[in-house]
Amino acid sequence: MIHGYAAMEPEGDLEQWEYDPGDLDKDEIAISIDYCGICHSDVHLVDDDWGVSSYPFIPGHEIVGTVSSTGADADRFDQEDRVAVGWQAGSCGMCEWCDVGKENLCPKQQPTAIGRNGGFADAINVAERFAFRVPDDLDGERTAPLLCGGITMYTPLRQVDSSDRVGIVGMGGLGHFGVQFADAKGCHVTVFSTSPGKGSDAEELGADSFVHARDTSAIADEALDFIISTVPAELDWNAYVDALRPEGRLCNVGAVPGDISVDARKLLAGKKGVIGSNTGGRKEIEEMLAFVARHDIGAVVESYDITDVNEAFDRVRSGDARYRVVLSI
């Protein structure tokens, strides 16, 4: 049996719960979990904000652990190898997107903790294709959150280069990775935050400037090439379009509950674009793990034992976490 903490109903507390994962499939590995990050998407799923949750279910999709057994055809890993698992646990493996390592765009992708159980638990079984070797010199606790929060920022930032001026809106779990990645790529980095107290942290993480995100005219005064918004709420989108230089892109990754509405004239005048992005494919995750090992990038962690999972979860739900809450198991 696998022992974890499950949501029993929308917005409910997480409760101790166990399930039988069944026999290991031929292509699966069993992982004994050491760490699992808490992403804001876990909050959306527990609360059923997206209408896709079924209960009980164990959340968690930012996992680092060690391989405890391997299926008959699973030969990528040996027992005791250290591996990580992120948002995705499966894809068709045959479509045009899977072919090029963009499994996050596969129409049949299977998330780790939707319709199945995730990482707030002592173990998980997962297809070996969706487990990633953790480089030896990376700390497991700092690395777990990279598997969703990190890759969600790394993938869109692959399209910027060192001459670009990058903006990060919302410095939470995702945002604090965005600052580190953009800085490591040599970009000028501006953080837009509603929390003035995060200014010194932003600078330490590599930001060059810090703008109060409630000050619309200060936002619009910026001149940036690429802005990523991580905020799970409505914003003054036009102010961020104004903050773009010609041909700039505003990329949203936050689970905004409604529409993103911008003045069409602002887009055509500056040939600007509004785009979205989600997590990343297997190739991009492997590339990111090599990149973070080279640049000493990782989560700034608030550590909690899994027995305090509800207290830990509330840190994320309330928006107080700085910057990623990680459960030790």
Preceding omega of 323 cis (within 30 degrees of 0): yes
Decide if 281 contacts 102 (C-beta within 8 A): yes
φ/ψ (deg, to 5) at 192: -110, 115
Does 41 engage in binding with Zn ion (CB under 5 A)?
yes
Which x/- pattern, by CB under 5 A, does the window 143-182 give for Zn ion?
Answer: -----x----------------------------------
Q: Residue 40's binding partner, choosing from ligand NAP, Zn ion, none, with beta-carbon cut-off 5 to 8 A by kind?
A: ligand NAP
Tell me: does residue 171 bind ligand NAP (CB under 6 A): yes
* Structure letter (DSSP) for residue 109: -
Contact range with ligand NAP by CB under 6 A, out of 7-15, 72-80, 130-138, 313-321: 313-321
Task: Work out the burial of residue 178: count CB atoms within 10 Å of its CB; fewer than 13 is exposed, 13-18 middle, 19 or more buried.
Answer: buried
The DSSP code for 211 is: E
- Residue pair 126/302 in contact (Cβ under 8 Å)? The answer is no
Q: Which residue stretches of 196-244 are H helix?
A: 199-205, 216-220, 237-242
- Residue 91 found at the interface with ligand NAP (CB under 6 A): no
Min CB(30)–ligand NAP separation in Å: 26
Choosing from 193, 201, 239, 327, the residue that interacts with ligand NAP (CB under 6 A) is 193
Interface mask (CB under 6 A) for ligand NAP, residues 41-80, using x and -?
x--x------------------------------------
Provide the CB-side half-sphere exposure for 294 (13 A, CA).
9
Residue length of the chain: 329
CA geometry: angle 299, 300, 306, nearest 5 deg: 85
Of 95-103, 236-244, 281-289, 314-322, which part binds ligand NAP (CB under 6 A)? 314-322
Which of 118, 170, 178, 206 is in the footprint of ligand NAP by CB under 6 A?
170
DSSP code per residue over 31-81: EEEEEEEE-HHHHHHHTTTTS---SSB-----EEEEEEEE-TT--S--TT-
Tokens of 139: 């700390």
Q: Name the token pair of 5.
A: 């903490």
Residue 278 in the binding site for ligand NAP (CB under 6 A): yes
- In the list 6, 33, 39, 299, the residue contacting ligand NAP (rule: CB under 6 A) is 39
Q: Which is nearer to Zn ion, 148 or 207 (CB)?
A: 148
DSSP 71: -
Query: Given the complex with ligand NAP, which of 74 and 289 has the nearer CB atom?
Result: 289
Q: Is 229 in the site for ligand NAP (CB under 6 A)?
A: no
Q: Is 279 in the site for ligand NAP (CB under 6 A)?
A: yes
Q: Which is nearer to Zn ion, 41 or 125 (CB)?
A: 41
Please give the structure tokens belonging to residue 182. 């953009």
Question: What's the rounded Cα separation, in Å, for the pair 265 and 56?
Answer: 47
Taking the least distance from each CB to ligand NAP, the nearer of 30 and 148 is 148
Residue that the structure tokens 């780790």 belong to:
112
d(CA 34, CA 66): 7
Q: Which of 194, 209, 310, 328 binds ligand NAP (CB under 6 A)?
A: 194
Q: Which residues bind ligand NAP (CB under 6 A)?
A: 39-41, 44, 148-149, 152, 170-175, 193-195, 198, 213, 230-233, 253-255, 278-279, 316, 319, 321
Contacting positions for Zn ion (CB under 5 A): 39, 41, 148
